[in-house]
Each structure stands twice: as structure tokens, then as C-alpha cells.
Amino acid sequence: MSGPSDMPPQDVYTQYGYNPEAPYMSQLIDLELGDELNLNDGPTLTNEINWFNDFEPSFPNTILYINNYEGQVSDNTLNTMINQGHCDVICFDYYPFQSDIRHEPAQRHRRIEHLAVYRVV
């Protein structure tokens, strides 16, 4: 989802025809509310927290989560998001097998350090 106005159900016309989501809402498992947002920015963090708090009651059986890239947000920001936004999951991207990333032991160690941050908060 790119913003609150994109929340399901969205019954839209696409290049493939009419695409109603409403009949499938009972099967909704999870929703990512924003992707790699700059949560270190105060207004962006506040908007994300409000988004979670506004829509959490409407999706009680749905996993609501955010995604960041490795090391994108501070530990303090992650804690604020957990405590005030009540997100169910926080995950991060890391692509260890891209051709432009070296696979040295130091890189593996860095990856493990970032896993530890997400586990601790």
C-alpha cells in the first residue's frame, strides 16, 4: 500500500477488466503499509503510526507490517514504531547474492549485526 487511500477493498478496472477485492477480504493474510519509508523523518514516522492506528481496528485478523532496507532506520525509530504504531511485523530487505555485493566474511558479519538489531527491538 502506498497510502491510506489505497487500503482494500479496492474495486477497480484494470487492463484485465473489473477487479473486485471485496469478495476476497476474508482471505486477506497481510498488508504492508508503506515500503522503505524514511521513518527517521518525524512527519513520515507520525503519518505511518497514524496509518497503523487508524486501520488496525478494520483489519483485526490481518498481519500489518512495514519493510525497510538494511540499516535504514534507527533503533529508536524502530522502537517508536513498535510502541506507538503497534505493527505486527517489521522486516528488512537484504540481497546477499547481487553481483555488486562482495561476499566477504565482513559482509556476512554485517548482515548478522542487522538481524540482531531487528531481533532485539
pLDDT of residue 16: 79
Each residue's pLDDT tens digit, 1-44: 788 888 888 887 777 778 888 888 999 999 999 899 999 999 99
Q: Which residues pair with 12 in a beta bridge?
A: 19
Model confidence band, residue 101 (pLDDT cutoffs 50, 70, 90)? low
Task: Report whether pLDDT(102) > 70.
Answer: no
Q: Name the nearest CA neighbour of 71 among 24, 28, 27, 38.
A: 38
Q: What residue has cell string 484494470?
A: 14
Q: What are the structural domain ranges in the chain? A: 30-120
Per DSSP (E only), the strands in 3-88 are: 12-14, 17-19, 30-35, 63-69
